[in-house]
Amino acid sequence: MAATAPFSRFEWMIAWRYLRARRAEGGVSVMTWISLLGITLAVFALIATLAVRSGFRTEFVDTILGSNAHVTIYQSAEVTERGQLDRSIHDYDAMADRLREVDGVIRAAPLVKGQVMANLRQSNAGVEVFGISLENLKTIPRIARSETAQGDIDRFDEGVAIGSGVAREIGAVVGDKIKLISPNGVKTAFGTSPRVKSYEVVYIFTAGRYDIDRTRVYLPFAEAQSYFNREGRASEIEVMVEEPEAVDLMALELIRAAGERALVWTWRDSSGGFLRALEIEDNVMFIILSILVLIAAMNIVSGLIMLVKNKGKDIGILRTMGLTEGSVLRVFFICGAFTGVIGTLLGVILGCLFAIYIDQVFSFVNYIAGGGVWDPAVRGIYQLPAELRFEDVIKAISLSLGLSFVVTIFPARRAARMNPVEALRYE
């Protein structure tokens, strides 16, 4: 007798009849539904977690690269005539020109930085002042192209630009005049007098990071030099590059262009610890959710074992009629694999919908909880991000189907090796 082709039509027909359990075999039907639901929820949780993980890292890195220097160039300290340590850069224009000539550098901007207190009426907030030119400020994506910005950035030379968190903290709006108070002011016979100066708020930005919006104030470069008593000097050079992910490869070339006393601090140096912790957390979460998928797939084994027991007589009859062990194995493999495929498909659909409509889902959860579910002061960013990546979806599908197919083989082999004589002896 010629061997039948694998996965023939009659094998699919038998498997389909077994999946549609009669009322008397309700236990098998219940186990099938439990297996299906378990696989669906596990795949949904895996895709949703991978999407949130990818979105969180993308948003975090984007806020770093969109509002901070990719590379900061500063100088090692030297002792002045008064015995003080000085890190100021005197030839900042020439250094910036040399840095711009390095391949891959798209901007090099001198900065003056200092920490002061911002005051408006009875409100105060500690802030960090960045002295920068209008031309260079316009090249910072998250600052110049802020979607919720207020005011006119072109008036920057007439006042200051402040973060939305600073504005909220002191109650400032565009047009208000705020005071910047520095304890390192004018030295007099009676000690150091704090330096106090008023500036009009001409621009309010939202960079997307709570810590930046809450602390950052931009001041025109020349005005910042005067305010901090650093005429003719800069604190550091802010460098932007075309490929921020490959910034470490450019470090040596940037040091050569900057000069002997130059030191380099990249965005990976400042945020590398957090990114490494995030990567470790991602790997741990993937392992945990993979175990969850495995547990869900094990329900398929339970359902198939019950199905094999209930169909023992049928197996015996089919074997005496000439059905091969391979055909029996494939029949029960189809039963288990079908559950895994349908569960995976439903889980992928739910996971993708969750990632696509994350804002609506989060708003609903926030409404049910009465607000305050997401604290930007703790999380750093203002909302729960999600980024659906094709490779993450493929990874979830491969894991789910792979586990479903593997665990299905064992009960299917048990059914195939069942002795037809033993199966029919007590029937």
pLDDT (tens digit, 9 = 90+) per residue, 80-108?
A: 666 566 778 888 888 888 988 888 888 88
pLDDT value at 294 more than 80: yes
- According to the model, what pLDDT value does residue 24 have? 46
Q: In percent, how much of the chain has pLDDT > 70?
A: 79
CA distance 47 to 123: 45
Instruction: Give alpha helix (H) positions in 230-266.
Output: 251-258
pLDDT (tens digit, 9 = 90+) per residue, 171-183?
A: 999 989 999 988 7
Which phi and psi angles does 123 have, rounded to 5°? -105, 140
Q: Looking at per-residue confidence, does 131 or 407 come out higher?
A: 131
- According to the model, what pLDDT value does residue 160 have? 92
Q: Looking at per-residue confidence, does 378 or 300 come out higher?
A: 300
pLDDT value at 10 more than 70: no
- According to the model, what pLDDT value does residue 27 have? 47
Q: Given pLDDT bands bounded at 50, 70 and 90, which one contains residue 316?
A: low
Q: Given pLDDT bands bounded at 50, 70 and 90, which one contains residue 362?
A: confident
Is 48 exposed, middle or buried, given 0-12, 13-18 or 19+ CB atoms closer than 10 A?
A: buried
pLDDT value at 423 more than 60: no
Query: Which pTM does this prediction carry?
Result: 0.72
- According to the model, what pLDDT value does residue 200 have? 92
Mean of the per-residue pLDDT values of the chain: 80
- According to the model, what pLDDT value does residue 346 have? 93
pLDDT (mean) for 406-415: 79
pLDDT value at 143 more than 60: yes
For the chain, the domains span 9-62+275-424, 77-260
Q: How far is CA 180 from the centre of its chain?
A: 36
Angle between helices 390-416 and 26-67 (to 10 degrees): 160
Q: Looking at per-residue confidence, does 421 or 272 come out higher?
A: 272
Q: Looking at per-residue confidence, does 36 or 320 come out higher?
A: 36
- According to the model, what pLDDT value does residue 353 have? 92
Token pair belonging to 113: 């930085």
